[in-house]
Amino acid sequence: MKQHLQNPTKNPPPTTTSGSTGVVTDMRVIVPLQGVVQGGGGGLILGSIIPCALVYFFQLYLKSKNCSGDDSTAPPPPQPPEIEPPGGGLQRVQSVRSIWSPRGSNSQVSSRASFVIKQVDNPYYVGLEKSCLDCYDEVCNPGGIIQLGFDENKLSLDVVQDWLMAHTKCSIVCQELQMNGITAYHPFDGLSELKMAVAGFMSQVMEGRALFDPSQMILTSGVSPAIEMLVFCLADLGNAFLVPSPYSPDLDRDIKWRTGVEIIPVPCRSSDNFSLSTASLNRAYNQAKKRGLKVQGVIVSNPSNPVGNLLTRETLYNLLDFATEKNIHVIANETLVGPIDDKNQEFVSMAEIINSEEYDRKRVHIVYGLSKDISLPGFKVGVVYSFNQSVLQASKKLMRFSSVSSLSQRLLVSMFNDSRFVGEFIKINRERVERMSDLFVGGLKELGIKCMKSSRGSYCWADMSGFIRPYSEKGELELWEKLLNVAKINATPGSCCHCIEPGWFRFCFASLTEKQVPLVMERIREVL
């Protein structure tokens, strides 16, 4: 009897699985021991076998009922429609990695990218975006925004267009532009033919006062990459550059975003005609030291952007003396083509002083917006001219990220080798810029708005402080909003240029035609 009772426990209870529902049903034989203990042999039959059989058959009944319920006529749960993948290909099977990935998580970007994303556009960029969406057109959109915030010279575009039409014959495949010359790879730092042509062009513009060596030249895709590359070569993360203010609103992004280098503004005031002094440089330098910042150089523009005045020869001498004393660098962003010099102001390139005076050339670097200066800003061609061999070597390797297209270079080689065209363009462009400057500044003067004297820039620096209430940055931005949204004129407020005096605005007039000037003045009059 003892052996008979223990045998059922040695075998595992049978189990069955329902294939349709996936539900597992265990069939266990329940043995009531009460009859065995109390009834002896008869009790074994009545108290054990019969109840056990009844329980067994009852479990079979339940199992059959569950199975029949699964096969009932009840409609199956709705299945999602099968979507055939495009092209009739195989369906993509969801991987285990995608199953276990967190739901709703966003792809992360670097902290550097997050910093750029979080930067809020100042009024300068807001105005550019709005004017692009609602651009003025005399026929299609006469009520649109007139763009005066973007420094772009279109006054001599017809001269360049005539040359392109005559020499390329509306085709890039001609005698001077062979197909293999524009489709093959080229040196990242620029074609040697173009460097030689650009050096000759720059010397011609300077009327021989400065000569340029092509071997010390790097060609970049515009001024912004040129300045950023020089800052990258000259400064480390957390270092700083001194920049006279007001300065171009693009400079903050050009310098700070990817290099991690800081800008220390050197405030210039209207009482001094916004001129740069050694005293202001020393003050800014000492303030940077107190903040724990290492100053690596000074960045200037000549003519000043946005003011438009020229840096005098004496100012350049003082700047080089300051750089020598502090053992720092000088980056000069120069505009060569512009109105002719008058007897009161002359344009002096940093190259002219370096070639004639005993200064350390290794600390001087010149940036030139070549394509912008010849009314072809979309070609995106800039020049870095440096006497520092280490800077040149590093720049040649870094230029793989911002080289100029082969087509643009080949076209410019042909253009600059045409000495007759170059001389004609310089003469016509200077005359047109000077005439437009006189028209625009004269129109503002009739409205009671005075401007700083501009010698070479394609913009004017206008004092509208008498029309802002209150006399603060808030009042300046309120006037800017009226100009943009009511008068439909996009101008650059001085606060975007880090001007410490409220009420100054930059107007870029070189994108206008002469007959548009009265329309601009009438619109400005409406909000004053």
- Greatest Cα-to-Cα distance within the chain, rounded to the nearest angstrom: 138
Strand order in the sheet with 262-267: 217-220, 382-386, 364-368, 329-334, 295-302, 240-245, 262-267
Instruction: Determine the Cα–Cα distance for residues 249 and 226; give it in Å rounded to an integer.
Output: 16
Do 460 and 305 contact (CB within 8 A), yes or no? no
Instruction: Determine the Cα–Cα distance for residues 18 and 140; give it in Å rounded to an integer.
Output: 74
Task: Quote the tokens at residue 328.
Answer: 């720092």
Q: Where are the alpha helices (DSSP H) in 278-418?
A: 278-290, 313-326, 350-356, 370-373, 389-398, 406-416
Residue 250 neighbours by CB under 8 Å, 6+ apart = 224
Task: Quote the tokens at residue 178.
Answer: 């062979």
How big, in percent rounded to 5, are the helix, strand and coil portions of the chain? Answer: 50, 15, 40
Q: Residue 265 half-sphere exposure, CB side, CA atoms within 13 Å?
A: 17
Query: Strands 217-220 and 382-386: what pairing?
Result: antiparallel
As a dihedral over the C-alpha atoms of residue 293, residue 294, residue 299, residue 305, rounded to 10 degrees, the angle is 0
- Residue by residue, DSSP assigns 446-502 as HTT-EE---SS-SEEEEE-GGG-SSSSHHHHHHHHHHHHHTS-EE-EEGGGGT-SST
In this structure, which amino acid lies at residue 141?
N
16: DSSP letter: E
Task: Quote the tokens at residue 187.
Answer: 């040196």
Burial class (CB in 10 A: 0-12, 13-18, 19+), 140: exposed
Instruction: Determine the Cα–Cα distance for residues 492 and 507; give it in Å rounded to an integer.
Output: 7
Per DSSP, the three-state class of 34 is helix
Backbone angles phi, psi at 464, to 5 degrees: -115, 25
108: DSSP letter: P
User: In three state form, how does the secondary structure of 44-76 look?
Assistant: HHHHHHHHHHHHHHHHHHHHHHHHHHHCCCCCC
Do 466 and 528 contact (CB within 8 A), yes or no? no
Instruction: Determine the Cα–Cα distance for residues 451 and 445; give it in Å rounded to an integer.
Output: 8
Q: Which pLDDT value is given to residue 173?
A: 46
Q: What is the pLDDT along the chain (528 residues), one digit of tens a residue?
A: 444 444 444 444 444 444 444 444 444 444 444 444 444 445 545 555 666 666 666 666 666 655 555 444 555 555 555 555 554 555 555 555 555 555 555 578 999 899 899 999 999 999 999 999 999 999 999 999 999 999 888 999 999 999 988 887 544 545 455 666 667 778 999 999 999 999 999 998 888 889 999 999 999 999 999 999 999 999 999 999 999 999 999 999 999 999 999 999 999 999 999 999 999 999 999 999 999 999 999 999 999 999 999 999 999 999 999 999 999 999 999 988 765 555 567 889 999 998 877 889 999 999 999 998 888 888 999 999 999 999 999 999 999 999 999 888 988 998 998 989 999 999 999 899 999 999 999 999 999 999 998 776 789 999 999 999 999 999 999 999 999 999 999 999 999 999 999 999 999 999 999 999 999 999 999 999
Instruction: Determine the Cα–Cα distance for residues 38 and 477; give it in Å rounded to an integer.
Output: 104
Per DSSP, the three-state class of 275 is coil
Helix (H) or strand (E) holding 506: strand 504-508
In this structure, which amino acid lies at residue 312?
T
Do 260 and 417 contact (CB within 8 A), yes or no? no
Q: Which residues pair with 492 in a beta bridge?
A: 506
Per DSSP, the three-state class of 330 is strand
Instruction: Determine the Cα–Cα distance for residues 71 and 90; give it in Å rounded to an integer.
Output: 32
The sign of the CA dihedral 66, 67, 73, 76 is positive
Q: Which pLDDT value is given to residue 91?
A: 58
Q: Which residues pair with 217 in a beta bridge?
A: 385
In this structure, which amino acid lies at residue 397?
K
H helix and E strand count, the chain: 20, 15
